């Protein structure tokens, strides 16, 4: 168990779908960020209003949305790509 993370990780279906669309480079960066979250080395900023329990960290042009409201547990909810909409 010595290589276990400090926190337990849970993965939501939305995250699972989003991660499949990422290229290998982004996946590597994402894994590093998740490990930092799981080891308590990094913390994101809270969203607003009804979603304030969700936090965001930036990974290049991607934003990882997660929550940590329960002790010792990180839940990954979504990855959103930053994009400028052209109608």
Partner 1 sequence: MSVSVVVNPSPTIPYSSTRITVFRELLDHLRSYVKSVLEDPKNIEVVVQELLKDQNALKLLYRASKEVRKISWSDWLEALKSFYALSERFKDVGIDVKDAFDIIAEHDMWKLQQIRKNFDKYADMFFDFSVNYPEDANRYIIVYMSVFLLLIATIEARSLEKLRALGEELNRFAEELELYTLTFMIGMDESWEKELDIVATARTPEELRREIE
Interface residues with partner 1 (CB under 8 A) are 3-5, 8-14, 16-17, 19, 27, 30-31, 34-35, 38, 45-52, 54, 56, 61, 63, 65, 75, 77-78, 80, 82-87
Residue labelled with tokens 């982004």: 26
Query: 68 in helix, strand or coil?
Result: coil
Q: How far is the CB of 65 from partner 1 (least distance, A)?
A: 7
Residue 52 or 71: which CB sits closer to partner 1? 52
Q: Positive or negative, the Cα torsion across 9, 31, 62, 40? A: positive
């Amino acid at each position: 168990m010595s290589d276990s993370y400090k926190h337990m990780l849970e993965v939501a279906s939305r995250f699972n779908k989003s991660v499949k669309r990422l290229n290998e480079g982004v996946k590597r960066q994402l894994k590093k960020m998740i490990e930092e979250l799981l080891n308590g080395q990094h913390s994101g900023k809270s969203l607003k209003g009804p979603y304030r329990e969700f936090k965001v960290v930036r990974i290049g042009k991607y934003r990882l949305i997660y929550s940590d409201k329960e002790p010792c547990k990180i839940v990954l909810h979504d990855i959103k790509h930053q994009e400028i909409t052209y109608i």
